[in-house]
């Protein structure tokens, strides 16, 4: 479904991604784990089209998307829940969800989609009229996820969805990620909480300073001594 072929990405003079390849197949949860600065967010930005790789390419549904603008990639069926949630703080919950559906061609009636996201995130329904910026961090994370789902993505990229949340909320968020996946959406998950991520993922790639150092089925990596020492503590 998603194929990343040997991409190299620079931030000005900084060589952030030094030749990374990975793929995500239909129906999987694939996770990229690694420490801060390993290049996880840069990879998601490159896949989403926010930054362009210097060499290598990204393919979505067997079509090269490395040179397609970010907003058109969303139309193709890939959505992202960005790091730090990035909800539109001065817009209401309802308006944030509408923005999520912005790329949809089937105009007008999104009632079924609202029902779907409100069923997953009941708290958002109560707060439909509230400004997103006045909600708690956990609620904003739920809004960011609901917003991404409004585009009816075939593949969903999630960047650190558990960041800064209380443990009980982290569990809830990870349960919802599994639900979304079971309902048919493929997921590429970037996480610092390696243990949680490996528990729900089917496969994983371990990143260190811009390269993949390890990859394999998630349950094998959970037992890998090196991974245990470096990421699971």
Q: Is 161 in the site for another protein (CB under 8 A)?
A: no
Task: Give the interface segment with another protein, choosing from 74-82, 115-123, 186-194, 209-217 (CB under 8 A).
Answer: 74-82
Regarding 83 and contact with another protein (CB under 8 A), the answer is no
Asked if 134 touches another protein (CB under 8 A), the answer is yes
Closest CA to 21 of 189, 217, 215, 192: 215
Considering only 71, 122, 171, 175, the residue that binds another protein (CB under 8 A) is 71
For residue 65, give the 3-state DSSP assignment. coil
20-23 long-range contacts, Cβ below 8 Å, gap at least 24? 20/56, 20/207, 20/210, 20/211, 20/212, 21/56, 21/212, 22/205, 22/212, 22/215
Task: Give the one residue of 35, 68, 70, 213 binding another protein; rule: CB under 8 A.
Answer: 70
Does position 80 interact with another protein (CB under 8 A)? The reply is yes
**Which of 127, 147, 196, 203 is the binder for another protein (CB under 8 A)?**
147
* Distance separating alpha carbons of residues 206 and 183, to the nearest angstrom: 27
Q: What's the rounded Cα separation, in Å, for the pair 113 and 147? A: 10
31, 41, 48, 66: which one binds another protein (CB under 8 A)? 48
Residue of 74, 94, 47, 95 whose CA lies nearest to 148: 74
- Edge-to-edge strand order for the sheet containing 2-11? 14-24, 2-11, 55-60, 63-64
Please work out the total of residues on this chain that contact another protein, with binding judged by CB under 8 A.
Answer: 33
For the CB of residue 141, give the shortest distance to another protein in the complex, in Å. 11
**Antiparallel, parallel or unpaired: β 63-64 and 55-60:** antiparallel
Query: Which position among 18, 61, 75, 215 is part of the footprint of another protein (CB under 8 A)?
Result: 75
Instruction: Please say whether the beta carbons of 73 and 60 come within 8 A.
Output: yes
Q: Print the binding letters for residues 89-128 with another protein: x by CB under 8 A, - otherwise.
A: xxx---x--xxx-xx-------------------------
Q: Tell me which residues touch another protein (CB under 8 A).
A: 48-50, 69-72, 74-75, 79-80, 82, 84, 86-91, 95, 98-100, 102-103, 133-137, 140, 147, 151
């Amino acid at each position: 479904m998603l194929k990343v072929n040997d991409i190299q990405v620079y931030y000005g003079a900084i060589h952030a991604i030094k030749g990374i390849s990975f793929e995500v197949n239909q129906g999987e949860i694939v996770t990229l784990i690694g420490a801060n600065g390993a290049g996880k967010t840069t990879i998601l930005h490159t896949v989403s089209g926010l930054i362009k790789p210097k060499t290598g390419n990204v393919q979505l549904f067997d079509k090269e998307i490395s040179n397609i603008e970010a907003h058109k990639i969303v139309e193709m069926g890939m959505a992202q829940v960005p790091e730090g949630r990035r909800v539109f703080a001065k817009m209401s919950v309802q308006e944030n969800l509408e923005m999520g559906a912005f790329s949809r061609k089937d105009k007008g009636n999104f009632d079924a989609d609202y029902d779907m996201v409100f069923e997953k995130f009941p708290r958002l329904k109560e707060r439909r009229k509230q400004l997103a910026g006045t909600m708690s961090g956990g609620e904003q994370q739920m809004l960011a996820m609901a917003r991404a789902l409004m585009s009816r993505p075939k593949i969903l990229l999630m960047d650190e969805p558990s960041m800064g949340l209380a443990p009980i909320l982290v569990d809830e968020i990870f349960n919802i990620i599994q639900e979304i996946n079971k309902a048919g959406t493929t997921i590429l998950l970037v996480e610092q909480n390696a243990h949680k991520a490996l528990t729900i993922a089917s496969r994983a790639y371990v990143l260190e300073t811009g390269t993949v150092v390890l990859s394999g089925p998630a349950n094998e990596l959970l037992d890998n001594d090196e991974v245990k020492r470096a990421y699971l503590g």
